[in-house]
Structure 1
Amino acid sequence: MKLVPAICVSCAAMAMALAGCAGFSSQAPAGGTLTGSLAGAAPGSVAARAMDDGDRRRAASALETLANGESSAWRNRETGDSFVFTPTSSVERRGERCRDFRLEVVAGGRPDSIGGSACRQPDGSWRIPG
């Protein structure tokens, strides 16, 4: 009956391997998106230009669901760019729920990072003022 523990170990190893890939899916989560321009935060920034619609949806999901200091990491399979998005603080501005964030990007082999702020809109999207 040594076969049962071996099967359990194999299943556990497979589950951990699959869980490790979950952060790097090319599928964007459902829900709101991040709107506005990161370019205002850092004109000419690699990070400001690198995000496509799917990446903006992932960033919005991070703003919506992660605690301050938690990060969401993913790789865009179409562009090969990788992202780490971290909400850093939550505040209320002019009656809107807003969050500051840090975005780290490796795009075209070039690393970049910027900080910014986004405010939640009534339609569920997150808008970067500016």
Structure 2
Amino acid sequence: MQIILQTESTFYKARYASFLLLFVAQMSDTELTYFNLLKREIARQLRTTFPEVDQEIEAWKGKEIRHLQEDLIRSVNGRVSEKWFYTHIKSAHEHLPRIDMLDLLSQYSRVPPLEPF
């Protein structure tokens, strides 16, 4: 990797360095708070369509995740995979999901996007 970086232009070196910083950075307290709020609001929004979903979002399994997928498609024309859900919602992930996914879920749950933070 170092050999490739030595032969690339400064532009690509800077882009690679900023990518690494984004990749390695862990969630700040503000981001973690926002993400937890977003998860609660996603669950609240899903309950408006599927009142039988009464567990916390971290406890959801196949049926509840499929309900979320259906509701996302219907309301914001977006989709999350079951693997994505298990990776970012059910596990104690150290990094925020990609901003486009956060924006999609913010739009679905009617929570302002993360950008102000």
Specify if TM > 0.5.
no
Q: TM-score range by the shorter chain?
A: 0.3 to 0.5
TM-score by length of 2: 0.34
Larger strand percent: 1
Q: TM-score, normalised by structure 1?
A: 0.32
Q: Which has the higher helix share?
A: 2
Which is bigger in relative contact order (C-alpha 8 A, separation at least 6)?
A: 2
